[in-house]
């Protein structure tokens, strides 16, 4: 299982390196409805993720997941994420241009 994850991660890293843009991680599919495909949410209630610092995004997601930052909606979406998936999501949204 671990090997598959590592293989998937390095494959997407290669993809990103060769095309000069970072591909959206698989888990981002569940975030699109509220935060937009590239983290530029269109609804003011949903914070924009595009261009925020990766370390900040990573911490917020872990805090939602682990109950240090309270928001019922985000807790539900962060709940199933592993540390590696959170890192990948944070790097992806940080690399997107804010609009
Ligand atoms: C149903 C709508 C919804 C979905 C789906 C959703 N979010 Fe959120 N997200 C929110 C709301 C609302 C907030 C603001 C919570 C608060 O007020 O603390 C938020 C906040 C955040 C923040 C903190 C932003 C900041 O500036 O502090 C991050 C990071 C985040 N979401 C990432 C994600 C990721 C990654 C996913 C997918 C795994 C996701 N969200 C899915 C609604 C959603």
How far does the centroid of ligand 1 lie from the alpha carbon of residue 61, in Å? 8
How far does the centroid of ligand 1 lie from the alpha carbon of residue 1, in Å? 28
How far does the centroid of ligand 1 lie from the alpha carbon of residue 26, in Å? 16
- Atom 27 (ligand 1): residue with closest C-alpha? 60
- Atom 26 (ligand 1): residue with closest C-alpha? 47
Of ligand 1's listed atoms, the one at least distance from the Cα of 69 is 18
Give the pTM.
0.85
Based on the number of CB atoms within 10 Å of its own CB, is 30 exposed (0-12), middle (13-18) or buried (19 or more)? middle
**Using CA atoms, how far apart are residues 49 and 95, in angstroms rounded to an integer?**
10
CATH classification (class only), 24-94: mainly alpha
**pLDDT for the residue numbered 18:** 43
1: pLDDT strictly greater than 80: no
**pLDDT for the residue numbered 16:** 46
- Atom 41 (ligand 1): residue with closest C-alpha? 31
* Per-residue model confidence as pLDDT tens digits over 39-55: 999 999 999 999 999 99
**pLDDT for the residue numbered 83:** 98
Residue spans of the domains in the chain: they are 24-94
* Per-residue model confidence as pLDDT tens digits over 2-35: 665 555 555 555 444 444 467 899 999 999 999 9
């Amino acid at each position: 299982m671990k090997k598959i994850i590592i293989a998937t991660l390095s494959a997407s890293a290669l993809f990103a390196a060769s095309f000069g843009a970072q591909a959206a991680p698989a888990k981002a599919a569940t975030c699109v409805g509220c935060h937009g495909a590239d983290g530029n949410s269109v609804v003011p209630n949903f914070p924009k993720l595009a261009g925020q610092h990766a370390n900040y995004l990573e911490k917020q997601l872990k805090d939602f997941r682990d109950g240090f930052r309270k928001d019922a909606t985000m807790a539900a979406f962060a709940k199933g994420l592993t540390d590696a998936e959170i890192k990948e999501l944070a790097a992806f949204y940080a690399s997107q241009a804010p609009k």
